[in-house]
A = this chain, B = another copy of it.
Amino acid sequence: MRRDVFQAIADPTRRAIIALIALQAMTPNALAENFNTTRQAVSKHLRILTECELVKQEQQGREIYYSLEIEKMKEIDSWLAQYRKIWETRFNQLDQVLLTLKK
């Protein structure tokens, strides 16, 4: 099973889960109440997110709190960095053009 961060964030429900647990740790039941889905479905998404280390869990009694592993999000950021470089270069080039026109 090839699980990577990009595959994990491909699903909109998972992105919604990420958005919620980024703010505070939550249980599967609490998460399911926020969507039109069952606890089991959320549970499966959490398993995928856990497998690619985007999420960490903490047991408290019979409840399991899930929270975002923010470090892993940087992996997407570093992939994006190469393209950010491109659009920043283009922006600077445009900037140059505008400056030249102004003169």
Residues of B within 8 A of A73 (CB): 80, 83-84, 87
The count of residues in chain A whose C-beta lies closer than 8 Å to any C-beta of chain B is: 24
Tell yes or no: A10 within 8 A of B by CB.
yes
Copies in the complex: 2
Taken together as a complex, chains A and B put the C-alpha atoms of A83 and B46 apart, in Å, by 18
Residues of B within 8 A of A10 (CB): 6-7, 9-10
Whether the Cβ atoms of B80 and A77 lie closer than 8 Å is yes
Whether the Cβ atoms of A80 and B80 lie closer than 8 Å is yes
Residues of B within 8 A of A68 (CB): 83
Whether the Cβ atoms of B87 and A76 lie closer than 8 Å is no
Residues of B within 8 A of A4 (CB): 12
